[in-house]
Amino acid sequence: MVETLKFLLETSPDTINCRDKHGTTVFQLAVRTDASCERVLPVLDVLLDGGVDRAMLNVQVEFGVTVLHGAVLKHACCGGEHLMELLDVLIKNGADASVRNDKRRNVLHQLAIDSRGKDLVNAAMLDILLESVGVKDLDRWGCTALHYIVQNFSQINAVRHLISRGADVNMVNRFGDTPLHEVIRGTLARGVDKRGHIEPMGREDVTKALDDLVKVLQDAGASMDKPNRGGKTPPQIRDDIFEERRRLEEARRQGRGRPKGGSSLQWVRGRQWRS
């Protein structure tokens, strides 16, 4: 792939600054391929050495997505060193992590939202982004990155690091929710073993992970007594979720299955995907 790209650029060097009919740049196409981060990096090196207009790195396409948003959307599952190297290369060459998409989300917001799996966001990656974005930056819904990343209990170390960098554990979004309200709606990501099977996970594992993350937030000053705009405190939301889960389990035992139209639990736990 790299050799083919070099040949094309030697044959027609001006194409590096062209866009397709949707306005997409070669950089955005490169980071959105199904190739792994390790395979994308050599491609970016060739493109960056090809006389590209650095402004192309901050072009926004549909939904206001930049090459950095695209890299996170596609490769957040890589986690760790590979994604960090990808972001670092782009930022050092002029990509701006503070550019907002149409939901007013910068790349830190995007990383917090898309880090839903077992792959962990490390402190060094967060520090790279925090050089150009604010840890308290708000999106359209008044959410900080902390509101989103707490919804994956596996990211407890990333939560600790954001707090150490000044994240506000009592920041209220447009719905009156603090990060504590959001963590109650979260879950613990399940991993996949070498054979591709989903790893087993008991309810006690989820409960412990939730309790550990709640403690991190409380130790940083988060309040369990603050109601949101719906009048619900974090413990009340937790009680609602447990009651809904109990009701669904009872319905399944009686052979009724899932209630028509989905459950309120789906709404309670899924509101992070606000449009």
Same domain, 68 and 139: no
pLDDT band at 75 (very low <50, low <70, confident <90, very high): confident
269, pLDDT greater than 50: no
pLDDT of residue 188: 85
Contact 66, 99 (CB under 8 A): yes
Question: Tens digits of per-residue pLDDT, 41-63?
Answer: 888 888 888 777 778 899 999 99
Of the candidates 65, 96, 127, which is a domain's last residue?
Answer: 96
Same domain, 84 and 175: no
Same domain, 54 and 109: no
Please classify residue 269 by burial: count the beta carbons closer than 10 Å to its beta carbon, then call 0-12 exposed, 13-18 middle and 19+ buried. Answer: middle
Same domain, 129 and 245: yes
143, pLDDT greater than 90: yes
Report d(CA 35, CA 102) in Å as an integer.
27
Of the candidates 61, 96, 131, which is a domain's last residue?
Answer: 96
CATH number where 227 lies: 1.25.40.20
Question: Tens digits of per-residue pLDDT, 164-184?
Answer: 999 999 999 999 999 999 999
Whether the model pTM is above 0.85:
no
Same domain, 212 and 87: no
More confident residue, 267 or 195: 195
Mean pLDDT of 60-71: 94
Same domain, 51 and 142: no
Same domain, 145 and 193: yes
pLDDT of residue 275: 44
pLDDT band at 25 (very low <50, low <70, confident <90, very high): confident
Of the candidates 77, 96, 115, which is a domain's last residue?
Answer: 96
Computed over every residue of the chain, the mean pLDDT equals 84
pLDDT of residue 266: 44
Same domain, 118 and 190: yes
More confident residue, 190 or 110: 110
Question: Tens digits of per-residue pLDDT, 181-226?
Answer: 999 999 887 665 566 555 666 788 888 999 999 999 999 999 999 9
Report d(CA 270, CA 235) in Å as an integer.
18
Number of independent structural domains in the chain: 2
pLDDT of residue 267: 40
Same domain, 11 and 66: yes
Same domain, 29 and 155: no
Q: Domain limits at 132?
A: 104-274
Report d(CA 94, CA 164) in Å as an integer.
27
